[in-house]
């Protein structure tokens, strides 16, 4: 937020560790002491940087949101890309950064109960950007904003859910099966992303 926001390295390391622990155990399950010790500093050092646990968590979300935006920006820089490609890229990104998917998913779950005080929803710009991309796509020019948002959300849902549940899948099915599912998934996503709107 305000301030100069120099990464300060230490701050960055706290955010990294917090991302890991929040992703594994959730907001309530991860303790400040744990996170700080992961970095090799004390809980109070962390409090010095972030103030409260809530604010630390906010910093983590902000960080994730930025990375997702960067990913999309990076993509569009050279070649104009299609919407399905964007979706596949997000999928690949979440595969490479599973921790962030988990934090995001948890945020959606916790959001309702934790006081949504700031009212600031860190992911909104990212979603708006995807919505815009879909709107530019052939059959979607005339689609309503709601239809567009629904499709985008469905795709993100499928992506997050897949990533998040991989561990469970592996416990239920053979790891070969999981592997072939994982490989087949981008194509499935692309199919769905290409599906024209409405019934």
User: At its nearest, how many Å lie between its own copies and the CB of residue 102?
Assistant: 6
Neighbours of 30 (CB within 10 A): 22
Of 52 and 154, the one with the shorter C-beta distance to DNA is 52
Stretch of 35-43, 78-86, 133-141, 154-162 contacting its own copies, by CB under 8 A: 154-162
Q: Tokens 């006081």 belong to which residue?
A: 115
Per-residue binder mask for its own copies (CB under 8 A), 162-191, x = binder: x-xx-xxx-xxx---xx-xx--xx-xx-xx
* φ/ψ bin of 9: left (φ > 0), alpha (ψ from -120 to 50), beta (otherwise): left
* Segment 20 to 59, residues that bind DNA, using CB under 7 A: 30-34, 41-45, 47-49, 52-54
N-term to C-term CA, the chain: 43
Instruction: Choose which of 93, 102, 133, 193 interacts with its own copies (CB under 8 A).
Output: 102
CA dihedral 130, 99, 103, 95 (to 10 degrees): 30
Contacts of 193 by beta carbon, 8 Å cutoff, 6+ apart: 83, 84, 87, 88, 151, 155
| Binding positions for its own copies, rule: CB under 8 A | 24-29, 102, 105-106, 108-113, 116, 119, 121, 124, 127, 144-147, 149-151, 153-154, 156-158, 160-162, 164-165, 167-169, 171-173, 177-178, 180-181, 184-185, 187-188, 190-192, 195, 199
């Amino acid at each position: 937020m305000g301030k100069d926001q120099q990464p300060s390295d230490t701050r960055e390391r706290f955010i990294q560790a917090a991302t890991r622990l929040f992703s594994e155990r959730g907001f309530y399950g991860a303790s400040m002491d744990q996170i700080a010790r992961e970095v090799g500093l004390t809980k109070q050092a962390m409090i010095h940087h972030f103030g409260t646990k809530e604010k630390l968590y906010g910093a983590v979300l902000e960080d994730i949101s930025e990375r997702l935006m960067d990913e999309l920006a990076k993509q569009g820089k050279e070649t104009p890309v299609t919407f399905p490609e964007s979706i596949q890229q997000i999928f690949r990104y979440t595969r490479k950064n599973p921790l962030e998917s988990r934090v995001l998913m948890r945020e959606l779950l916790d959001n309702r109960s934790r006081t949504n005080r700031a009212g600031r929803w860190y992911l909104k710009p990212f979603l708006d950007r995807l919505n815009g991309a879909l709107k530019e796509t052939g059959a979607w020019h005339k689609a309503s904003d709601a239809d567009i948002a629904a499709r985008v959300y469905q795709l993100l849902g499928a992506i997050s859910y897949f990533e998040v549940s991989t561990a469970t899948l592996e416990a239920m099915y053979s790891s070969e099966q999981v592997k072939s599912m994982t490989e087949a998934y981008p194509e499935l996503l692309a199919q769905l992303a290409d599906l024209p709107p409405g019934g």
